[in-house]
Amino acid sequence: MSAIELRNENKKFLSGDEAVAEGVKLCRPDVIAAYPITPQTVIVEKLSEFVASKEMDCQYLHVESEHSAMAASMGASMMGSRTFTATSSQGLLYMCEMLHYVSGSRFPIVMVNANRTVAAPWNIFGDHRDSLSQRDSGWMQVYVENGQEALDMVIQSYKIAENQSVSTPIMINLDGFVLTHTYELVSIPEQNQVDEFLPPYSTTNKFDFENPKSLCFTASPEWQTEFRYQQYEAMENAKKVIQEVDKEFSQVFGRTYGGMVEEYHCSDADYILVAMGSVAGTAKIVVDKLRKQGKKVGLVKLRFYRPFPKEYFKKLGKKAKAVGVIDRDISFGYEGAVYSDVKAALFSQGADVKTINFIAGISGRDITKEFLAEMYSQLEAIGNGDKVEEIQFTGLRWK
Amino acid sequence: MIEIRWHGRGGHGGFTAARLLGLAASVYSDNYAQAFPSFGPERRGAPVLGFTRIDKNPINDHSQVYSCDYVIVLDESLLDTIDVTKGIKDGGVLIINSKKPARDFNIQKDITVHTFDGTQLALDVLGVPITNTVMLGATVAITNVVSIDSIYKAIDDFMSEELREKNKKAVEAAYNSIKGVTN
Confidence of residue A9 (pLDDT cuts 50, 70, 90): low
Binary contact (B40, A124; C-beta < 8 A): yes
Q: How many domains does chain B have?
A: 1
Contacts (Cβ under 8 Å, ≥6 apart) of A1: none
Closest to B36 (Cβ–Cβ): which among A145, A181, A185? A181
Residues in chain B closer than 8 A to A184 (CB atoms): 32-34, 59
Binary contact (A366, B33; C-beta < 8 A): no
Contacts (Cβ under 8 Å, ≥6 apart) of A321: A270, A271, A353, A354, A379, A383
Contact with chain A for residue B41, Cβ under 8 A:
yes
Range of the domain at B122: 2-179
Percent of chain B with pLDDT over 70: 98
Is the peptide bond prior to A121 cis by the omega test (within 30 degrees of 0)?
yes
- Reported ipTM: the value is 0.96
Delineate the domains of chain A, giving CATH numbers in brackets.
3-253 (3.40.50.970), 261-393 (3.40.50.920)
Confidence of residue A395 (pLDDT cuts 50, 70, 90): very high
Q: What does the pLDDT look like over A266-308, one tens digit per residue? A: 999 999 999 999 999 999 999 999 999 999 999 999 999 999 9
Closest residue of chain A to B62, computed from CA coordinates: A282
Contact with chain A for residue B19, Cβ under 8 A:
yes
Q: What does the pLDDT look like over B93-115, one tens digit per residue? A: 999 999 999 999 999 999 999 99
Q: What does the pLDDT look like over A35-59, one tens digit per residue? A: 999 999 999 999 999 999 999 999 9
Q: Is the model's pLDDT at A3 over the cut of 90?
A: no
Is the alpha carbon torsion for A284, A289, A292, A295 positive or negative? negative
CB B53 within 8 A of CB B2: yes
Q: What is the CATH number of the domain that holds B107?
A: 3.40.920.10
Q: How far does chain A reach from its first CA to its final CA, in angstroms?
A: 62
Q: What does the pLDDT look like over A341-386, one tens digit per residue? A: 999 999 988 889 999 999 999 999 999 999 999 999 999 999 999 9
Q: Residues 241-280, chain A: which have Cβ within 8 Å of B?
A: 278-279
Question: Looking at residue B39, what is its pLDDT?
Answer: 76
Q: Is the model's pLDDT at A30 over the cut of 50?
A: yes
Q: Is the model's pLDDT at A182 over the cut of 90?
A: yes
Closest Cα of chain B to A180: distance in Å? 10
Establish how many alpha carbons lie within 13 A of residue B10's alpha carbon, considering only the half-sphere containing its beta carbon. Answer: 9
